[in-house]
Each structure stands twice: as structure tokens, then as C-alpha cells.
Amino acid sequence: MPAAARVQRVIVLFAALSCSAPSPELGTVRPVQRDIERALSTNGRIEATSRVAVHVATAGRVERVLVQSGERVKKGQELLRLADTGQAAARMQAAARVEGAEARLAQLESGLDPARKAVLESERSKLHAARENAARDIQRLGRLVARKAAPRSELEAKQRQLDGLKIDVQALDLQLEARPSEDRRSELVASLRDAGAALRAADQEAARLSIRAPSDGQVYSLPVIEGEFLAAGGLAARIGALGTVRAIIFVDEPDLGRVEPGDVARIAADAYPGREWDCEVDRLATEIVEMGPRRVGRVSCKAANPDGRLLPNLSVGVRIVTDQAKHVLSLPRSAVRRTDGRAFVWVVNDGKALRRAVETGVEGPVFVEIRKGVEAFESVLIPGDEPLSDGQNVRLLPRGDTDD
């Protein structure tokens, strides 16, 4: 048989088979307006904002724990107390040293020891009385000597006595009014300074027994119990602001380019089924880290946490919305096909499948935005496993079974 005849026979046979083949039974949908999101699904964990770890400055046994985990505290509030191992006694001794140094300096400034000063003032009073008596005797003897009723020698002796009393009074006045020695004063000032430094050091040691909150916040970790021994630098508590928390999101290296500041991240946790928290990405990754078999960048956002359910270190699932479209015409992903990177759909017209090129936009997990190529009133086929050809007859399933 000539080649041309064989080709003609094949064409006729193919046409006959096509006419005899049953039309496929397919479902249809119509484009519907909806919101579409393209999201990146991953995981992450929650961290407290403004978090601070509280450590003990000195080794000791925990005598009392004064707060509970989850409790809100104020800056300076006592969290726990270590047992006193002599710090209080050392402080009392240091305080006594300060009091003694202050007393000695005050005594020097006053000029004399109070007891010695009292003795000198008593002696000066006696000398003043003797001087006054001697002065009166001199006046009396002077009158007697003038009348030649007493010898002049007695008057002269009394005058010498008065002069001696005046000298004694002047000597006592000098002792009572003497200024303190500058060398002695410098010595006592240095002693007071050393005692003050020792008292401040003792105060610091005593204060280290009381572990206090460095800032306002919530105690979200309290890993100590009464009776436990803590080494110097040991962790006593963790405090953070939990009204707003930070979600650390682990994004696989190939997906990092899809994430931009301002993208919405939706946070969910197995502990709270059906609940989500939204936040906006405010920090992009600054490095790639190994996390098991994954290479990830750490992206983060702040999320409002008014009821405190998002606890530090809580593992969460995260969907980062990388693209979205509001109130746009859409079709199920199963209705949109691609060849050589170009999208098309099968539109039904008079029972025939017509191939139609379309322009797509945001692609979500279920629906695709259709920007051009299909109108809202048109019916679009959901192709099955069998290939379709342009103009092929199709039978349609009832719309209620397939329409979205």
C-alpha cells in the first residue's frame, strides 16, 4: 500500500475512534471573589521581651523564696533571701568602729576629754574663788597698813599670793581653750574614713543575701527551692515583660528571600487549638544557623499577649503571609494548568472544552487569583486524569457537586 494511502487510513481511523469515544464527565466551577493569601509555613518559639536573668552575687543556701513563678513583681522587690553566715555580725562590728571613730573625732574637736575638762573647770572655779578672797584680803590689809595696824610685809605676802593665783587661772584657761593638734585630727579622720569603708563593704555583703528584682516584669522562671545551695553567679530567676512577647521564627534558607519587613505572621500553638495571634515581621535574619538537618535564618516579630498565654520557650507553628490579594476573582488551583510556564484553563461553551489563556496573581494553598482571561459568569472545568483537546465535547457533573 502506498505511503499516502496508509496516512489517509490512519487519519480516518483516528477520526472514527474520536467520534465513538465517550465524552469525559467533568465538574465545573465559576470564578468567585475572595481574599487569597500566599503563606510560608514554618515553626518558631516564644521569647519574653525585656527579659533579664537574675543571678546571686555570693554563694549561699536559699533560706526563703518570697515569690512564685508567674507572679508580677516591681523593681527592687525581694525575690529570695540567702541564709546569713556572719554578714549581720560583721556589719554590727563595722558600725561600732564607725561610732567609735566619730566619738574620738568629736572629742578632739571639743578640745578635751569630757571628764578631764570637768576636772579643769572645777579647779578653775576654786582658783577664781581664792583669787577673789585674796583680793578682799589685800584691800583689808591695805587699810590696816595705812593705820599702821598691820605690817607691810603681810600685805606684800598676800599680793604675791594673788599674783600666783592669777597665773594659775591663766594656765587653766589655756588648757581649756587649746586647739586640737592637726596631726591628731588627720589621724582620726583617716580612721573614720577606713571605718566607713569597712561599713559600706559589710553593707554590700549583707545586701547580697537579699536577691531583688532589677526591673518590673513577670517571673517566668524560678528554678530554686528553699534549702538549695547556690554557687556565686548561680541563676535565681528570670524576669520579663510578657504583655508583649517576641516570636522567633525559623525560616529555611531557600525561603528567606520571600520574607519582608511588615509581612503578617500568624502564630498558633498546639496548647491552644483554634487560636491565632498576629504580628508583623520587624526583624529579618542576620545569619544562617544549623538547626538539626535544617539551615535557617531567625526572623522575628512582636505579638500582643494580654492574657499571658504565649509563654517563653513555647513552641509555635507560624504562617508568614508573603503575598495577599483582597476581594479578587479566583479559581481552585486544580482548575488552572500550565504549559511552558504559561497558565490556562478549560472553559465550557455549548458542551465543548475551550482552552483559554489566563493571567494569574497571588497563589494560595487552595485558590489562585485570576487577573485576566475568565469572567465571573463563565464555567471552568476541573480537568481529570484524561487529557483534553480544544473543542472536545464534555459532559458536566451537577454543579452542586463541584462548584465552590
Summarize pLDDT for 49-83 with one digit per residue, the tens. Answer: 888 999 999 999 999 999 998 899 999 999 999 99
Cα(213)–Cα(312) distance, rounded to whole angstroms? Answer: 18
The total number of residues written for the chain in this structure: 404
* Total Cβ atoms within 10 A of residue 7: 10
Q: Is 87 exposed, middle or buried, given 0-12, 13-18 or 19+ CB atoms closer than 10 A? A: buried
* Total Cβ atoms within 10 A of residue 358: 22
Cα(206)–Cα(94) distance, rounded to whole angstroms? Answer: 12
What confidence category does residue 327 fall into, taking pLDDT thresholds of 50, 70 and 90? very high
Taking residues 202-206, what's their average pLDDT? 92
Residue the block writes with cell 575638762: 117
How does DSSP classify residue 351? T
Q: At a CB cut-off of 8 Å and minimum separation 6, what does 399 contact?
A: 28, 379
pLDDT on residue 17: 39
More confident residue, 15 or 306: 306
Q: Is the pLDDT of residue 33 over 50?
A: yes
Q: Is 191 helix (H, G, I), strand (E, B) or coil?
A: helix
* 69 in Cβ contact with 221 (< 8 Å): yes
Cα(373)–Cα(361) distance, rounded to whole angstroms? Answer: 12
pLDDT on residue 401: 42
More confident residue, 127 or 295: 295
Q: Which of 90-94, 99-103, 106-110, 322-326 has the lowest mean pLDDT?
A: 106-110
Q: Which of 210-214, 302-306, 397-401 has the lowest mean pLDDT?
A: 397-401
* 382 in Cβ contact with 404 (< 8 Å): no
Q: Is the pLDDT of residue 399 over 60?
A: yes
CA 370 vs CA 345, 374, 403: distances in Å: 10, 7, 16
pLDDT on residue 188: 86
Which pTM was predicted? 0.57
What confidence category does residue 172 fall into, taking pLDDT thresholds of 50, 70 and 90? confident
Cα(290)–Cα(172) distance, rounded to whole angstroms? Answer: 91
Question: N- to C-terminal Cα distance for the chain?
Answer: 55
pLDDT on residue 8: 40
Taking residues 122-150, what's their average pLDDT? 87
Q: Residues 16-45, buried b or exposed e (16+ Cβ, 10 A)?
A: eeeeeeeebebbbbbbeebebbbbbebebb
How does DSSP classify residue 189? H
- DSSP assignment string, 275-317: --EEEEEEE---SEEEETTEEEEEEEEEEE-TT--S-TT-EEE
> Residue 51 region, left (φ>0) first, then alpha (ψ -120 to 50), else beta?
beta
Sign of CA dihedral 130, 131, 136, 137: positive
Beta pairing class for 210-212 and 229-230: unpaired
The DSSP bridge partners found for residue 229 are 61
pLDDT on residue 11: 36
Beta pairing class for 395-396 and 25-29: parallel
pLDDT on residue 112: 62
C-alpha cell at 308: 499571658
Q: Which of 12-26, 80-94, 309-323 has the lowest mean pLDDT?
A: 12-26
- Amino acid letter, residue 264: V
Residue 117: enclosing H or E segment and its boundaries? helix 114-146
